[in-house]
Amino acid sequence: MSAEPADVMVVGAGGAGAVIAKRLAEQGAQVVCLEQGDWVDRQKLPKAHLDWEVRGRRYWAANPNVRRWPSDYPVASFGDNPIDVYIYNAVGGSTIGFAGNYWRFAPSDFKMRSLDGVGVDWPLTYEELEPFYDVNEREIGVAGLAGDPCGPARRPTLLPPAPVGRPGRLLIDAYERLGWYWWPTEQAITTVRYDGRSACDHRSYCPFGCPNGSLGTTDVTYWPKALKLGVRLITNARVRSLTLDSRGRAQGAIYHDSEGRVHEIKARVVVLCGGGLGTPRLLMLSDSSRHPHGLANSSGQVGRNLIVHVQSFAVGRFDDPVEGWHGTWGGTVSTRQFYETDPSRDYVRGFIMSGVGGYSPLNLALQLAPWGPDHHDVLDRYLNHEVCMYLCGDDIPEEINRIELDWEHTDAIGMPGVKTFYRLGENSQRLGADMIRRARQVLEAAGATSVRDFGLSPIWGWHLMGTARMGGDPATSVIDRHNQAHDVPNLYIADSSSLPTGGGVNPTSTIQALAARCAEHIWDARRDWQGAD
Amino acid sequence: MAYDRRQTDVGTPQEGGAGPYRDYRFEVGRAEVPVGVPRTFKVLDPQRAASLRGWVECLVPAQRGRPSAAEVGAAEYIDATVYSASGLRETLLRAIDRLQALVGGAGGGGFAAADLGDRTRAVRAFELEDRSGAFDMVRDFTYEAYYAHPVVLAALQRDLGWDAVAPTRGGGMEAFDESLLHRVKSLPARYKEVR
């Protein structure tokens, strides 16, 4: 290990860390990235195998308690509405198991407090983030269509929309009957050959891995470029704590390698990208006499304000076959008809509804089919006859929703796991009830003979946000508008934990745009850190 | 994706084995057992192996030209899984022995030798009394072995039109028709301007 500090050390090679590393290396910074997981063996992606559904329930399971990769730490869930946590610890982070839904936030998402009197405002606006959405979308390769009246005008840089198939046509017909807005869903999927990646070949069920490489996971988008630019990526590097110098500036990290050996690494700037659980966990683990409640936690907000989105699925059954096995899983057509606050409703903020295909055989059997003589009849009634809708709504941050270290359940080298505590707030419950009701309305308008839904429990833990949030006031936030820690000037946090509110859409696009913006600020501020050692 | 019927169990692996209910899901993450591979029993003795075959046949019987779970190797798959996830072996062994006792008490002759109706009644009784998680485990493993097997997937395609190969090999689709957006494009903007 060289004694010379790197310019920038990134912790976490996921959706945000990849952006930071690549963007700064492009500028000429020396970047090192510590990732506690490893590269995913693409030969082992579930979808490379006919028994992909089974593989998806075992080593590819999104819940780390089930999957138990060497890089995983245990997560226990508590509270009135415990979260079923879905995270991946690997190069690519949780993007390796995402569906590719790739929305931009709406301008109002940045102003929840001002517009609706709840939650908090972001310390920046949509307009300030917009250029970085553009930059990031070009890197990822995003399919969609400019001109959606439910969002601000934008440059037509998108790849063609994904085919919608018969499920999508059924939903389009429903929206047209209802007179509602709809639009092809934006997805981080290359629908044509793009930037050396293959065009999507419509295998669907994208969270089970895309052997084709057209799903925009950062192990196939940012990382190959970042490595070519000279980023030093150290995998299987489990960070134990961040270190400070005598002046209280971030100095680097102490980490364990795959054999458990301890290493220290130094850098002039440290960027935390460990995600909504991993980042506050590491801040809490990095407590010291100077930071007795965890690093950068003078506000007491580290680990608090956990937001997860109000999520559910509604599923319509149709008499005719729906051919729901192909296309993209992440969404065919979607609506933001109910996205903005409407005073006539009994809640603030709103939600999206995103059409999906139909459930696959094993998934469906596990959900519905009884064992015994009636088994085949039930499966036959539903398989190839269902269209699913993914539902996602805004969740208002509350301090009571939080994470804590779990010293009773530890990882492979004895570092603590995480406890989550979550209660679905009253506004979120009302929003969720209406969201499901509206989804039923769409499916019935599409001709469904029956509709089932998943209610609001369990809490789907795909989107874990807000636990080291940005804000203008150091008393109520952890980082400032440039993702810079209020308490430690050369420490940045640029991942889902930094989002003060989560909008009502899948957040990866916004997380990555924010990371690109953060990288630009770090580079612009290089006079502050170059020569600081 | 919404996945199975018991997603509210979100504890930690350690908690999965603490009580009388053993949640198999916390123990199979590293048990990589490909489906559709010919294999023999490694954990179960011949009598218990026969009983497990009889059990999985009750769960998914042969019907309308589709094989039973036993015919596609579900019992061998379960055996291979508990071979890899050894913490589950005892749960399985006890469950099989309990089924043997249940059918024996009803008519004698052993579970494997009983007819499908008697076996089904015994399995139903075991489902009602089971507090160990064994029933859920065997049912779910049976479904895994069944719905990932090439013979079954081919039958689903034949009977229901479900293309089970497309998710791994892909295929062509008609491009999105932008003219469908004619009405929506004419609508006024529907988002809140923020100044």
Q: What is the DSSP string of B80-146?
A: HHHHHSGGGHHHHHHHHHHHHHHHHHHHSS-TTTS-HHHHHHHHHHHHHH--SSHHHHHHHHHHHHH
Write the pLDDT tens digit of every residue in A93-106: 999 999 999 999 99
Give the span between the Cα atoms of A138 and B137, in whole angstroms: 46
User: How near does any CA of chain A get to the CA of B90, in Å?
Assistant: 20
Which of B10, B68, B72, B157 is the mutation pick for testing A, counting most A CBs within 10 A? B10
Mean pLDDT over residues B34-52, rounded? 96
Paired tokens of B76: 């061998």
Mean pLDDT over residues A117-144, rounded? 97
Which of A77, A362, A384, A452 is the mutation pick for testing B, counting most B CBs within 10 A? A362
Give the span between the Cα atoms of A487 and A476, in whole angstroms: 12
Mean pLDDT over residues B15-31, rounded? 76
Report the complex ipTM.
Answer: 0.95
Query: Taking 70 as the threshold, does the pLDDT of residue B1 lie above it?
Result: no
Which of A104, A338, A375 is the mutation pick for testing B, counting most B CBs within 10 A? A375
Chain A nearest-CA residue for B63: A376
* Side chain identity at residue A135, one-letter code: V
- Residue A195 gets the label, from left (phi > 0), alpha (psi -120 to 50) or beta, of left
Q: ∠A139-A145-A148 over CA atoms, to 5°?
A: 120
User: How near does any CA of chain B get to the CA of A266, in Å?
Assistant: 34
- Residue B160 gets the label, from left (phi > 0), alpha (psi -120 to 50) or beta, of alpha
Which of A43, A186, A366 is the mutation pick for testing B, counting most B CBs within 10 A? A366
Are A70 and A47 in contact, with CB atoms under 8 Å apart?
no
Write the pLDDT tens digit of every residue in A446-483: 999 999 999 998 899 999 999 999 999 999 999 999 99
> Whose CA is closest to A512, among A227, A100, A122, A152?
A100
Residue A532: pLDDT band (50, 70, 90) is: low
Give the span between the Cα atoms of A161 and A73, in whole angstroms: 38
Which spans in A234-360 are helix H? 275-285
Give the span between the Cα atoms of A483 and A480, in whole angstroms: 5
Chain B residue numbers touching A388 (CB-CB < 8 A): 2
Residue B13: pLDDT band (50, 70, 90) is: very low
Mean pLDDT over residues A312-316, rounded? 96
Contact A163 B175 (CB under 8 A): yes
For chain B, what is the largest distance between any 2 Cα atoms, rounded to a whole number of angstroms?
81
Query: Taking 90 as the threshold, does the pLDDT of residue A531 lie above it?
Result: no
Write the pLDDT tens digit of every residue in B121-174: 999 999 999 999 999 999 999 999 999 999 999 999 999 999 999 999 999 999
**Range in A47-61, B16-30, B93-107 the model is least confident about:** B16-30
Chain B nearest-CA residue for A147: B185
Residues 6+ apart with CB under 8 A from B177: none
Q: ∠A182-A184-A188 over CA atoms, to 5°?
A: 140
Q: According to the model, what pLDDT value does residue A154 have?
A: 86
Contact A54 B144 (CB under 8 A): yes
Q: According to the model, what pLDDT value does residue A158 have?
A: 84
pTM given for the model:
0.96
> Whose CA is closest to A339, among A509, A453, A168, A505?
A505
Chain A residue numbers touching B164 (CB-CB < 8 A): 50, 325, 361
Are A173 and A436 in contact, with CB atoms under 8 Å apart?
no
Strand A232-234 and strand A31-34: the pairing is: parallel
Chain B residue numbers touching A162 (CB-CB < 8 A): 176
Q: ∠B133-A369-B70 over CA atoms, to 5°?
A: 70
Chain B nearest-CA residue for A125: B194
Q: Which of A48, A150, A409 sits opposite B12 (nearest CB)?
A: A409
User: How near does any CA of chain A get to the CA of B101, in Å?
Assistant: 20
SS3 A304: coil
Q: Which of A150, A365, A458 sits opposite B191 (nearest CB)?
A: A150
Mean pLDDT over residues A149-170, rounded? 92
The rounded mean pLDDT for chain A is: 96
Residue B3: pLDDT band (50, 70, 90) is: low
Write the pLDDT tens digit of every residue in A361-372: 999 999 999 999
Chain B residue numbers touching A59 (CB-CB < 8 A): 29-30, 32
> Whose CA is closest to A487, among A240, A250, A241, A243?
A250
Query: Taking 80 as the threshold, does the pLDDT of residue A314 lie above it?
Result: yes
Query: Taking 60 as the threshold, does the pLDDT of residue B105 lie above it?
Result: no
Residue A533: pLDDT band (50, 70, 90) is: low
Q: According to the model, what pLDDT value does residue A66 have?
A: 93
Query: Taking 60 as the threshold, does the pLDDT of residue B6 lie above it?
Result: no
Residue A270: pLDDT band (50, 70, 90) is: very high
Q: According to the model, what pLDDT value does residue B14 have?
A: 44
Mean pLDDT over residues A334-362, rounded? 97
Mean pLDDT over residues A231-258, rounded? 97
If 0-12 CB within 10 Å is exposed, 13-18 middle and 19+ buried, where does residue A472 land?
Answer: middle
Contact A58 B28 (CB under 8 A): yes
SS3 A265: strand
Q: According to the model, what pLDDT value does residue B18 have?
A: 43
Write the pLDDT tens digit of every residue in B76-89: 999 999 999 999 99
Residue B108: pLDDT band (50, 70, 90) is: low
User: How near does any CA of chain A get to the CA of B21, in Å?
Assistant: 16
List the 30-89 stretch of B: residues with Cβ below 8 A of A.
Answer: 30-36, 58-61, 63-64, 66
Contact B192 A321 (CB under 8 A): no
CB atoms within 10 A of CB A130: 16
Q: Which of A201, A362, A384 sits opposite B171 (nearest CB)?
A: A201
Tell me the HSE value of A27 on the side-chain side, using a 13 A CA sphere. Answer: 18
Q: Extract the runs of DSSP E, i.e. beta strands, from A49-156.
A: 75-78, 83-85
Q: How far is CA B127 from CA A303, B134, B146, B175, in A?
A: 42, 9, 20, 49
Query: Taking 70 as the threshold, does the pLDDT of residue B8 lie above it?
Result: no
User: How near does any CA of chain A get to the CA of B47, in Å?
Assistant: 23
Which of A41, A66, A198, A335 is the mutation pick for testing B, counting most B CBs within 10 A? A66
> Whose CA is closest to A435, among A389, A397, A401?
A389
Contact B192 A409 (CB under 8 A): no
List the 140-169 stretch of B: residues with Cβ below 8 A of A.
Answer: 140, 142-144, 146-150, 152-153, 156, 159-169
